[in-house]
Amino acid sequence: MNINTGRTHSEPDDAQSVVIPPDKGRPARKKTAQKPQRGRHVAGRLLSALRLLGYGAAVALAIMASFYVYRYADASDILGARNIEIEGCKHLHPVDLEKIIRQKIPSNILRIDLGMLRERLEQEAWIRRVEIRRVLPSSLKIYIEERVPSVIGEIGGELQLLDSEGILLQAYDPDAEKLDAPVFSGLSGDNPDAYRVLQEDNSARVRLGVQVLADLAHGATDLTRAVSEIDLSDLGNVKILLVNDTAEIYLGDHDFLKRFQAFIAQYDDVKSQYGEMASVNLRFFPDIIYNPKIPSGAKPETRPVNRQTIRN
């Protein structure tokens, strides 16, 4: 009999290589699959919807509250235009302006059409520009920019006060307005109303006269002091009258300073030779045409030369 104490070929080398057959009596346990997280998604969507509903409700409440506040304010006397502050008046009277304002505005300050009110105030001759501000709950602030009187115009035989744009302000009062300026004549219209009807034409004439004065003031000496009147009846040939002379001086329509300086430089010499002048025409400058006065009682045959051209 042989006794073999060694390992058989069927035995594994170590215990780790031993394979234990599955227990056929128990089926293998399967890993359970995770269910989709539908519950969380539904809850999130529901929460978002509730938030949106909350925001919508808040907005709706705010709109309703604003509406009721506006309705209350609109019907209340709290927003009545009780205070009207007017600044910038020098020639205008604030009391008179306030009367105009109150005639044109509703009782509630929120209903005031500021644009329409501004247009109405700027129809006043003295007012050049207006700014209006609401100051809640019950105040209006009016800022007035008045026109600057700078021109004395002769209209229908009466002196009127104008600004540099030709806007008629009021009748000229030498005691109230101390203007050292020549009179503008040759304007259109024989009364203030007719003048305003022809405003565009008159504004062009006044602007030309203002340009004449501006040019004459820019010389080495202020030559405007020698001028007593500017006749603007012919826009192509401005006529001026001098303070100490009766001659009519025609300056054309440009280069007023250059022409007037040339005329002044030789005028005394011309008068000493030919006597007093009826007119001097500088329209064709550098030619200066002098027309001497005809002596009273002079016979045609002894009439002196009435036209002298001096080449400058």
Residue among 107, 114, 104 nearest 76 (CA):
107
CATH number, domain of 84, equals 3.10.20.310
Residue with tokens 């005031």: 112
Round the CA-based radius of gyration of the chain to a whole number and report it. Answer: 49
Rounded to whole angstroms, how far apart are CA atoms 248 and 280?
6
Helices marked H in the chain: 38-75, 94-104, 114-121, 192-197, 199-217, 256-274
Distance CA 210, CA 238 (A): 12
Whether 161 and 133 share a structural domain: no
Domain end among 146, 164, 182: 146
Can you give the pTM of this predicted structure?
Answer: 0.70
Distance of CA 103 to the CA centre of its chain: 26
**Residue 153 pairs with which residues in a beta bridge?**
160, 184
On whether residue 36 sits in a domain, the answer given is no
Residue range(s) defining the domain that contains residue 261 = 149-311
Q: pLDDT of 61-107, one tens digit each?
A: 767 655 544 555 555 556 677 899 999 999 999 999 999 999 988 88
Residues 212 and 264 in one domain: yes
**CA 91 to CA 49: how far, in whole Å?**
67
Distance CA 176, CA 159 (A): 13
User: For residues 94 and 310, what is the distance between their CA atoms, to the nearest angstrom?
Assistant: 59
Domain count, the chain: 2
Q: 3-class DSSP state for residue 76? A: coil
Mean per-residue pLDDT pooled into runs of 10, the chain (312 residues) = 47 50 55 57 72 73 58 57 90 94 89 94 96 92 96 97 97 88 96 97 98 93 94 97 96 97 95 94 95 74 44 42
How far is the C-alpha of 285 from the C-alpha of 312, rounded, in Å?
A: 8
Q: What is the pLDDT of residue 294?
A: 84
Whether 126 and 159 share a structural domain: no
202 in a structural domain: yes
The pLDDT assigned to 158 comes to 96
Do the bridges between strand 248-250 and strand 239-242 make them parallel or antiparallel, or are there none, so unpaired? antiparallel
